[in-house]
């Protein structure tokens, strides 16, 4: 069942430049849907339009099959968590959590019952008498989440709720929000500029840039089959390695950035790849360490990052900086020339002019796990 449906939604402040351009998508009941994109892409504006905090210039917004374009926020049966928490500084944690229920004139008995359940769920039972200034950033965020949860609204909107937290707390809160969403069966629309958050939390992701949808799909689909160069460079950490490429006249080699030849089977080159200005891409984990007998190239290391569980290496490939990511600890130094293995099966092909994907990599995709 579609809980939220956007049909050709457009937003313009001056009737000239469109902040959002004909956005159409459907969000299913119980889905965790993530809007991701760089700053200024229009994702927060779109969320505020769903909430009723921004007017819709053109198009139709439906919630539960009902057109809500002109309904005020209080009549849309949703809750929202803001980036800056939006807590009342003069109220206690308990008063902040119950503020919306009091406005709706929910009975005091039901208020206290919902408060007890929500406070236990969010780990706030010992903090109910404190003011926001006495709380840490993570605790304030939990209060904002609790205020949303206690409303029992089936649709929850979140606008970059974790951006003010430190890295460790952000990772913990990602797990907690996802667990909470599944437990309560909420439909959640979550805005972030952090593609790691998008990949780890979303059932589906919409990548937005300059007010235009770039791609909608499951996180692993966007990772393996990016629709265009923007998605390829935005989704994934580190981003996909990209470089301009040309085939040799006999199609036995693909030469990347004029310096990196890749051996090809001429019969494997499809017609749609010929006579096109090509850009190719390869993920960092698909530049493998090579041994003397199977190395395809020797590359000079220009940077090394030792992360403990993995080692990240950087190489100059023509005008591009490419990254390799290897599991484990590798005692490699800047300036070393090391053997690597790069195979054509891991390359994605893009049209440099239209920037659209022509052919996804044929190897390296995730495998389906069958439960025993």
- The confidence score (pLDDT) of residue 358 equals 95
What is the secondary structure of 100-166 as a DSSP string? HHHHTT--HHHHHHHHHHHHHHHT-GGGTT--GGGS-HHHHHHHHHHHHHHTT-SEEEEESTTTTS-
Q: How far apart are CA 265 and CA 362, in angstroms?
A: 14
How far the first Cα of the chain sits from its last, in Å, is 30
In terms of phi and psi (left: phi > 0; alpha: psi -120 to 50; beta: otherwise), the region of 303 is beta
Average pLDDT, the chain: 91
> 304: which strand partners?
313
The pLDDT confidence band at residue 334, using thresholds 50, 70 and 90, is: very high
Instruction: Give the integer Cα–Cα distance in Å for 47 and 337.
Output: 49
Phi and psi dihedrals of 365, rounded to 5? -80, 160
Token representation of residue 369: 């796990």
- With both helix axes pointing from N to C terminus, report the angle between 108-122 and 93-103 in degrees, rounded to the nearest 10: 140
pLDDT in tens, 192-211: 998 889 999 999 999 999 99
pLDDT score at 372: 45
pLDDT band at 142 (very low <50, low <70, confident <90, very high): confident
User: What pLDDT shows up at residue 292?
Assistant: 62
Which of 87-96, 141-150, 272-281, 335-344 is predicted with the least confidence, judged by mean pLDDT?
A: 141-150
Quick one: DSSP state of residue 62? E
pLDDT at site 370:
44
CA 262, CA 287: separation in Å to the nearest integer?
12
Q: Are 219 and 212 in contact (CB under 8 A)?
A: no
Strands (E) located in 50-139: 58-63, 66-67, 78-81
How buried is residue 253: exposed, middle or buried, by Cβ count under 10 Å (0-12/13-18/19+)? Answer: middle
Neighbouring residues of 156: CB distance < 8 A, sequence distance ≥ 6:
78, 79, 80, 81, 148, 181, 186, 187, 188, 189
Q: Given a cut of 70, is residue 364 above it in pLDDT?
A: no
Q: What is the pLDDT of residues 236-260, one digit of tens each?
A: 989 999 999 999 999 999 999 999 9
Is 119 in contact with 146 (CB distance < 8 Å)?
A: yes
Please state, in angstroms and rounded to a whole number, the distance separating the CA atoms of residues 60 and 67. Answer: 7
Q: What would the CATH number be for the domain defined by 2-229?
A: 3.40.50.300
Question: What residue ranges do the domains of the chain occupy?
Answer: 2-229, 238-359
- Asked whether the beta carbons of 180 and 216 are under 8 A apart, the reply is no
- Give 287-300 pLDDT, tens digit per residue: 999 876 689 999 99
Please say whether the structural domain 238-359 has been given the CATH code 1.10.10.60. Answer: no
pLDDT band, residue 138 (cuts 50/70/90): confident
> CA-CA distance, 20 to 212, in Å (whole number)?
6
The better pLDDT of the pair 15, 63 is held by 63
Q: Which of 349, 319, 324 is nearest to 336 (CA)?
A: 324
What count of residues does the chain have? 372
CB 304 within 8 A of CB 261: no
The two tokens of residue 249 are 């006249």
Query: What's the Cα-to-Cα distance from 347 to each of 149, 236, 241, 247, 270, rounded to whole Å?
Result: 44, 15, 10, 14, 14
Q: In this predicted model, what pLDDT tens digit does every residue of 112-128 receive, in sequence order? A: 999 998 898 888 999 99
**Of 131-135, 243-247, 324-328, 361-365, where does mean pLDDT reach its minimum?**
361-365
Over residues 126-131, the mean pLDDT reads: 94
- Report CA-CA distances (Å) from 33 to 158, 186, 226, 238, 347: 10, 11, 18, 23, 29
């Amino acid at each position: 069942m579609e809980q939220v449906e956007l049909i050709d939604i457009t937003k313009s402040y001056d009737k000239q430049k469109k902040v959002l351009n004909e956005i159409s998508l459907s969000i299913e009941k119980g889905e965790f849907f993530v809007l991701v994109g760089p700053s200024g892409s229009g994702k927060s504006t779109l969320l505020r339009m769903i909430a009723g905090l921004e007017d819709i210039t053109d198009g139709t917004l439906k919630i539960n099959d009902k057109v809500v374009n002109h309904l005020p926020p209080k009549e849309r049966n949703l809750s929202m968590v803001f980036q800056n928490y939006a807590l009342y500084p003069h109220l206690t944690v308990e008063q902040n959590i119950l503020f919306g229920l009091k406005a709706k004139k929910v009975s005091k008995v039901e208020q206290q019952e919902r408060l007890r359940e929500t406070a236990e769920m969010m780990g706030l039972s010992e903090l109910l008498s404190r003011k926001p200034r006495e709380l840490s950033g993570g605790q304030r965020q939990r209060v904002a989440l609790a205020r949303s949860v206690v409303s029992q609204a089936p649709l929850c909107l979140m606008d970059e709720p974790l951006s003010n937290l430190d890295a460790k707390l952000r990772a913990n809160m990602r797990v907690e929000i996802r667990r909470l969403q599944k437990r309560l069966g909420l439909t959640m629309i979550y805005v972030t500029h952090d593609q790691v958050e998008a990949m780890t939390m979303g059932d589906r992701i919409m990548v937005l840039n300059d007010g235009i949808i770039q791609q909608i799909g499951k996180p692993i689909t966007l990772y393996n089959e990016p629709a265009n160069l923007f998605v390829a460079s935005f989704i994934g950490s580190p981003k996909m390695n990209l470089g301009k490429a040309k085939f040799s006249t006999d199609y036995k080699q693909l030469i990347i950035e004029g310096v990196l030849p890749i051996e090809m089977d001429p019969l494997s080159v499809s017609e749609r790849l010929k006579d096109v200005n090509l850009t190719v891409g390869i993920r960092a984990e698909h530049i493998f360490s090579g041994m003397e007998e199977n190395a395809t190239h020797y590359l000079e290391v220009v940077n090394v990052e030792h992360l403990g569980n993995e080692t990240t290496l950087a190489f100059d490939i023509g005008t591009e900086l490419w990254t390799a990511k290897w599991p484990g600890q590798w005692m490699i130094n800047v300036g070393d020339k090391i053997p690597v293995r790069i195979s054509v099966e891991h390359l994605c092909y893009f049209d440099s002019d239209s920037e659209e994907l022509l052919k996804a990599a044929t190897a390296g995709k995730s495998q389906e796990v069958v439960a025993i």
